[in-house]
Structure 1
Amino acid sequence: MTISLFELNPAIDRAAIARRFAADGRAQIRDVLTPAAARALHEVIARQTPWGHGWRSGEDGPKALTARELAALPPAERQEISHGIFSAMQGQDYAFSYARYPILDAYLAKWNPDGPHDILLEHINDRPFLDLMRDVTGIRELCKADAQATLFGPGQFLALHNDSHVGEGWRIAYVLSLCAVEWRPDWGGYLHFFDEEGDVIAGYRPRFNTLSFFAVPTPHAVSFVPPFAPPQRFAITGWLRDR
């Protein structure tokens, strides 16, 4: 039997979720995929994804390495990258560091034509998912989405920012969590939202088969994952666009 990588749960209460989004500018859909689809997608992301590295340290970046490039990187250069990220976060600069696989870039460059990541991107841009997001956000103009696979492992994070690329058509940011372990709050990796004074006003724990989404721009961050956390914070992330 063929199992879809992206079969939506037919029991989603779209009206209730739309009310939450209208009130807060953010919402979650738990059990967004059917159990079989969620398990199949987790297998692809956790077992079949060649993880590279994305980072930025102040004005240096954003930069990215493929899995092959990362494997060939000399230890001294790895240390230099880590030092730059550390130095940026000691001051007032912006920085991030996480494992990634650029699904859209891979699709366009035909890294693995018709592979599971390509199929996933086509599902994300197909009518069932786009109609769901139009329904729960009220933004009928949503017409396409990009995607990347992300893994925030020990020592990684995404500093406070707001995704202010509205000129590129970004309207909604999304995070499909595929963290299949019972994630302890002490392990960091939360998707945090902030008010104008820098206080945390909401935090979403990594949960399996849960779609979080929010309006752009919104101040948010992924909190630092400490060294003792397991490398299990898998997700598909990206932006839904109106052009």
Structure 2
Amino acid sequence: MSDLIRLNPKLDARDYAGEFRRDGVVQVFDFLTPDSADRIEAALKTATPWGLSLSDAQGRGEWLSPPMLQSLGRDGVAAKARVALEAARTGFGFSYLAYPIIEALVNGRDPGHPTHALVELLNSPEARDFCAAVAGETGITKIDAQATLFRPGDFLTLHNDTGVGERRAAYTIGLTRDWRTDWGGQLLFHNEAGDITRGLRPQFNVLTLFKAPQWHSVAPVAPYAGAPRLSITGWLRDDPPVG
């Protein structure tokens, strides 16, 4: 594992497990060492081949790689964006820039990218056991990850992650500095009626861990937002071994 990306050595799962057990969500500030968070932020801002993640008419996800975006052209991408908006209007929909870290790592793309070292860290006993202990989950076998960038107008509508594999808890690692609350982009939690029970603004070097399934969404980013909303997102899984 690369030593360029490191976990804050002062973290103790016992400081957070009670809040997670009570509320189903907890935030861990200063999750990574400062240098580690800075490296990942810099890579996301300047050295990441972002693609477009959006929903189709049935609310299923599609990731358009940079070559695919170029091949589709402006009109083709706009047509797909309209489909995602219609899906959001009537059900589940989303649109934001994404970088599939696991896929890139497995396929040997973008060697040396700091997010690859982050995935290795998250799946080390140190970080995986910390997250599992906070969530009160035993048998976590892996933590997956993607990088996301929400631009003005990007969104992720209400959903609860049911029926999508062995996901035991969800997480985000916020890498967004100096975000104004009125720029939108909050991680929102909802009750069964759809009312918002809690909203968390984008922040920097903060792990947000929350139970799954649980109703949540990301508020659309305002058209006047002055910066991108950057984060790493994924799930704690206990997928059974293959074979």
Aligned partner of 1:107 in structure 2 is 105
The yes-or-no answer on 1:177 pairing with 2:187 is: no
Alignment of 1:211-230 (within 5 A): 211-230=207-226
Counterpart-to-counterpart distance in 2, 1:22 and 1:120: 26
Contact residue 162 and residue 216 of structure 1 kept, 8 A: yes
AA partner of residue 16 (structure 1): D
Runs of at least 4 residues of structure 1 off by over 4 A? Answer: none
Counterpart selection for 1:237 from 222, 233, 239: 233
Alignment of 1:1-243 (within 5 A): 4-59=3-58, 61-90=60-89, 92-165=90-163, 168-180=165-177, 182-243=178-239
AA partner of residue 18 (structure 2): R
Q: CA deviation at 1:115?
A: 3.8
Q: CA deviation at 1:60?
A: 5.8
What 5-or-longer segments of structure 2 have no aligned partner?
none
What 5-or-longer segments of structure 1 have no aligned partner?
none
Contact residue 187 and residue 200 of structure 2 kept, 8 A: yes
Show CA shifts across 1:100-128 (max 9, x none).
00001111222234543332221111111
Structure 1 length-normalised TM: 0.92
Counterpart-to-counterpart distance in 2, 1:41 and 1:4: 13
Specify whether residues 61 and 139 from structure 1 end up closer, same or farther in structure 2 by C-alpha distance, changes over 3 A only.
closer
Stretch deviating more after TM superposition (104-113 or 3-12): 3-12
Structure 2 length-normalised TM: 0.92
Counterpart-to-counterpart distance in 1, 2:127 and 2:148: 20
AA partner of residue 136 (structure 1): V
Counterpart-to-counterpart distance in 2, 1:75 and 1:95: 20
CA RMSD of aligned residues (A): 1.7
